[in-house]
């Protein structure tokens, strides 16, 4: 415990180095800004900021991107509460009660609850996960290549959690990402694969181009398919303040706070369960178990606190497996993993041994980031009103410019830009055909790691694939991976079977007021 | 008639995308067999892509069969990756508009090397904003100029990215802009 406090103290010292702290503040501002603009979102914010980190050291880069991630889970609450516009999908549950509180003239109080919820969820979750990070990493140091493959397989298998409409679509998206990663010269034997004689493909397809294209340009093309608003989204220019709840009011919601914090932290560790899923699940749990005078959806603080706490708490839950195991559990952490790799750093247990200062600086930045975003949030409302008045055509054009110049900046190569446009079209088609993008991105980033671990295992163990099941760690992880893949499949098959209509007694209350 | 019915089932939006992906998997699988195997009986660089392609093909076959069996193709509404426009009528725009945006972006990328970053960005921004329903030509042109100057300044002066200058005579204009901004 003393060692942890010592390491964390050094981490805090690194965070408060002026340049790192500056990047943290910039990240918080970017995260807050992108999350109030519908259609941009925190993942896109991280993707668009990625090119600016090329020339930075790894520490400020990751602090910057992590700050965007944290702030992105909070910034959207302003537009949700004030204008009924969920800046992020994770803000949808919060909107149901937040906007209703606004209609009752309690907008300032609703914003105060959201701020307190983000603060509690972020700090408690960060505390829990930082405490677990060291033991997690020490355990992971005992991993051999079969164990690594099994842990990556678990990450890939749980990608089914990212399946929004169809499991098959999520799987095909994942396989597509894995195939993209095989293009070029393979790292084990040096054979050329799927280059079709094109020098452009010989070096492989850079995952940054996949990220920027599919998330950035793809989203722009999708937005073009809808009518872009010219007068912004602002409905009036009412400016309110933030009014914090009293200690007594906070104490009265202790059950909601404990449940949602625990849920957000635990679900955050589960790959695939991002801020969106955790906020919806927290709201659903609150719907069923909390004691309150009025139902959720009618403008009660529980409906704001539960999803906000859970979505902010999920950030620490995702960052620690990323740092300790090198396993991204969401689109945002996949991009942050990409940033690590761009700087030649492979996240995983070794990072706590080889670069402990960097690892703990990133963990410490979670605490500072949570506090910082709440401080910024207190003064944020005036800017929200102004930003929402920018016509959407201008915003999305600027996004295109960032995507193009960002993809060019890495290698000063126009071919990379062309590739980004290709993946922009892929992103657009994925949206039209309802294929999720996140599995493709995870496949592109994790594919080479999985293949290397697999081939290394096969070489070391004479092609004996049973080693994945006979070693204790890889055995448990492999079984978990199979379960993670099979259980949702079985559940979907069971759901698709016709059955007798049944409505739970409380279902009439389940649908919150939109 | 029976042939037509069978054909209709296979070109239906619930089935066709999977058949196309299946064909692509088949093509890539053939290419994967050209990848050399590993030495001394070891698994080679071909095993990983082959496994992925077989899994993808299996998923497609499963979905094709599932949709053929469970979907009433004649009155098909929901399952499968059918293109569904779920937006409000007033939000709808011509379906070709996203493709115009894609084409404009493609032309922009082609022009970057030819006329340089500043001019290409200025033209692209103005046109893109205009096509994106912002029908104020002067405002679009001014926004284009400001955006181009801002991006040149940020990326060439601050982030040190060597953005394309274009060929003559456009290169001279790019050099002039850089000189104005104190970029060397």
Residue A21 lies inside a defined structural domain of this protein: yes
Residue A192 bridge partners (DSSP): A185
Pair (B154, B110) in one structural domain: yes
Phi and psi at residue A235, to the nearest 5°? -115, 90
SS (H, E, C) A426-449: HHHHHHHCCCCCHHHHHHHHHHHH
Question: What is the C-alpha separation between A91 and A97, in angstroms, rounded?
Answer: 11
Q: Which of B14, B46, B75 is the last residue in one of the domains?
A: B75
Residues of B in contact with A192 (CB under 8 A): 35
Q: How many CB atoms sit inside 10 A of residue A49's CB?
A: 24
Residue A384 lies inside a defined structural domain of this protein: yes
Residue A180 lies inside a defined structural domain of this protein: yes
Residue B156 lies inside a defined structural domain of this protein: yes
Pair (B120, B159) in one structural domain: yes
Q: CA angle, corner A52, sides to A354 and A125, nearest 5?
A: 55
Give the pair of three-digit tokens for residue A404: 């193009």
Residue B85 lies inside a defined structural domain of this protein: no
Residues of A in contact with B42 (CB under 8 A): 458-459, 463
Domain that holds residue A432: 2-495
Q: What is the pLDDT along chain A (514 residues), one digit of tens a residue?
A: 677 788 888 889 988 989 999 999 999 998 888 877 655 677 878 888 887 887 788 889 989 998 998 888 888 788 778 776 666 667 777 877 888 888 788 888 888 888 899 899 889 888 888 888 777 777 777 778 888 888 788 777 766 655 556 788 888 998 999 999 999 888 778 888 888 888 778 888 887 788 788 888 888 888 888 776 655 544 444 556 778 888 888 888 888 888 888 888 877 776 655 676 677 778 877 877 766 667 777 788 888 888 888 888 888 888 877 888 777 777 788 888 888 888 888 887 788 888 888 888 888 998 999 999 888 888 877 777 677 677 888 888 888 888 888 788 777 888 888 998 999 999 999 988 888 887 888 788 778 888 888 888 888 888 888 888 888 888 888 888 888 778 777 776 776 665 544 443 333 333 333 3
Number of domains making up chain B: 2
What pLDDT score does A237 carry?
A: 44
Pair (B137, B63) in one structural domain: no
Whole-complex ipTM:
0.84
Pair (B71, B96) in one structural domain: no
Q: Do B112 and A414 touch (CB under 8 A)?
A: yes
Give the pair of three-digit tokens for residue A279: 């906020």
Number of domains making up chain A: 1
Pair (B67, B137) in one structural domain: no
Question: What is the C-alpha separation between B155 and B151, in angstroms, rounded?
Answer: 6
Pair (B131, B169) in one structural domain: yes
Query: CA of B50, closest CA in chain A: separation in Å?
Result: 10
Residue B81 lies inside a defined structural domain of this protein: no
Q: Which of B19, B45, B75 is the last residue in one of the domains?
A: B75
Q: Do A193 and B100 touch (CB under 8 A)?
A: no
Query: CA of B146, closest CA in chain A: separation in Å?
Result: 11
- Are the CB atoms for A468 and A478 separated by under 8 Å? yes
Residues of B in contact with A454 (CB under 8 A): 48
Pair (B139, B169) in one structural domain: yes
Question: What is the C-alpha separation between A89 and A29, in angstroms, rounded?
Answer: 19
Task: Record the pTM.
Answer: 0.74
CA distances to A152, A153, A192, A449 from A188, in Å: 18, 19, 11, 11
Residue A503 lies inside a defined structural domain of this protein: no
Pair (B112, B168) in one structural domain: yes
Query: CA of A410, closest CA in chain B: separation in Å?
Result: 9
Residue B183 CB partners (closer than 8 Å, separation 6+): B152, B153, B156, B157
Pair (B27, B54) in one structural domain: yes
Residue A427 CB partners (closer than 8 Å, separation 6+): A213, A214, A215, A217, A218, A219, A221, A222, A437
Residue A434 lies inside a defined structural domain of this protein: yes
**Directed axis angle between helix A414-432 and helix B97-115, to 10°?**
180
Q: Do A191 and B44 touch (CB under 8 A)?
A: yes
Q: Is the pLDDT of residue B108 over 90?
A: yes
Pair (B98, B172) in one structural domain: yes
Residues of B in contact with A227 (CB under 8 A): 90-93, 133
Which residue in this structure is represented by tokens 């010219």?
Answer: A230
- Are the CB atoms for A72 and A31 separated by under 8 Å? yes
Residue A502 lies inside a defined structural domain of this protein: no
Pair (B13, B43) in one structural domain: yes
Residue A507 lies inside a defined structural domain of this protein: no
- Are the CB atoms for A303 and A98 separated by under 8 Å? yes
Domain that holds residue B104: 91-180
Pair (B176, B103) in one structural domain: yes
What pLDDT score does A47 carry?
A: 82
Question: What is the C-alpha separation between A41 and A69, in angstroms, rounded?
Answer: 10
Q: Do A391 and B163 touch (CB under 8 A)?
A: no
Q: Do A463 and B36 touch (CB under 8 A)?
A: no
Identify the helix (H) or strand (E) that includes residue A513.
none
């Amino acid at each position: 415990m003393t060692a942890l406090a010592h390491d964390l103290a050094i981490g805090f010292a690194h965070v408060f180095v002026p340049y790192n702290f500056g990047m943290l503040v910039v990240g918080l501002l970017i995260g807050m800004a992108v999350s109030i603009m519908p259609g941009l979102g925190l993942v896109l914010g991280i993707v668009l900021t990625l090119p600016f980190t090329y020339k930075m050291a790894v520490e400020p880069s990751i602090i910057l991107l992590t700050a965007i991630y944290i702030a992105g889970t909070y910034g959207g609450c302003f537009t949700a509460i004030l204008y009924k516009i969920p800046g992020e999908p994770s803000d949808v549950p919060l909107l149901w009660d937040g906007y209703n509180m606004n209609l009752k003239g309690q907008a300032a109080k609703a914003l105060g609850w959201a701020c307190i919820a983000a603060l509690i969820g972020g700090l408690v979750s960060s505390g829990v996960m930082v405490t677990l990070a060291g033991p997690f990493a020490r355990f992971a140091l005992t991993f051999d290549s079969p164990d690594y493959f099994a842990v990556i397989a678990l990450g890939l298998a749980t990608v089914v959690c990212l399946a929004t409409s169809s499991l098959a679509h999520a799987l095909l998206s994942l396989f597509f990402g894995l195939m993209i990663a095989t293009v070029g010269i393979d790292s084990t034997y040096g054979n050329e694969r799927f280059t079709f004689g094109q020098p452009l493909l010989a070096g492989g397809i850079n995952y940054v181009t996949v990220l920027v294209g599919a998330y950035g340009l793809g989203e722009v093309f999708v937005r073009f398919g809808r009518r872009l608003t010219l007068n912004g989204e602002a409905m009036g220019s009412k400016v309110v303040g933030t009014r914090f709840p009293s200690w007594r009011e906070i104490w009265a919601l202790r059950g909601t706070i404990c449940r949602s914090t625990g849920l957000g932290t635990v679900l955050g560790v589960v790959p695939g369960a991002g801020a969106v899923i955790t906020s919806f699940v927290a709201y659903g749990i609150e719907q069923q178990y909390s004691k309150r005078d009025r139902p959720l959806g009618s403008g009660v603080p529980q409906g704001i606190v539960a999803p906000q706490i859970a979505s902010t708490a999920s950030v620490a839950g995702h960052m620690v497996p990323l740092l300790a195991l090198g396993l991204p559990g969401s689109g945002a952490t996949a991009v942050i993993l990409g940033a690590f790799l761009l700087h030649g750093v492979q996240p995983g247990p070794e990072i706590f041994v080889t670069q402990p200062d960097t690892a703990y600086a990133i963990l410490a930045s979670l605490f500072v980031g949570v506090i910082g975003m709440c401080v910024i949030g207190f003064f944020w409302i005036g800017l929200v009103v102004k930003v929402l008045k920018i016509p959407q055509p201008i915003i999305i054009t600027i996004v295109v410019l960032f995507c193009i110049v960002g993809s060019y900046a890495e290698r000063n190569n126009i071919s990379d830009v062309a590739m980004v446009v290709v993946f922009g079209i892929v992103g657009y088609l994925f949206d039209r055909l309802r294929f999720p993008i996140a599995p493709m991105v995870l496949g592109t980033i994790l594919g080479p790691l999985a293949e290397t671990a697999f081939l290394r295992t096969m070489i070391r163990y004479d092609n004996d694939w049973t080693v994945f099941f006979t070693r204790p760690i890889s055995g448990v992880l492999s079984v978990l991976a199979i379960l993670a893949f099979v259980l949702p499949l079985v559940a979907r098959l069971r759901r698709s079977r016709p059955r007798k209509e049944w409505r739970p007694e409380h279902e009439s209350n389940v649908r919150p007021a939109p | 008639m029976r042939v037509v019915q069978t054909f209709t089932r296979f070109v239906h939006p619930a089935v066709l995308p999977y058949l196309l992906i299946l064909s692509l998997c088949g093509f890539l699988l053939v290419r994967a067999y050209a990848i050399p195997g590993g030495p001394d009986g070891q698994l080679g660089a071909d095993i990983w892509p082959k496994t992925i392609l077989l899994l993808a093909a299996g998923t497609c076959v499963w979905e094709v069969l599932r949709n053929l069996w469970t979907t009433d193709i004649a009155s098909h509404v929901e399952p499968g990756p059918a293109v569904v426009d779920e937006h409000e009528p007033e939000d709808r725009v011509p379906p070709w508009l996203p493709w115009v945006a894609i084409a404009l972006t493609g032309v922009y990328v082609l022009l970057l090397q030819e006329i340089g970053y500043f001019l290409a960005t200025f033209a692209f921004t103005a046109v893109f904003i205009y096509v994106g329903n912002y029908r104020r030509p002067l405002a679009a042109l001014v926004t284009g100029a400001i955006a181009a100057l801002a991006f040149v300044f940020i990326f060439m002066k601050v982030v040190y990215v060597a953005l394309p200058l274009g060929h003559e005579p456009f290169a001279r204009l790019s050099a002039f802009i850089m000189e104005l901004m104190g970029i060397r």
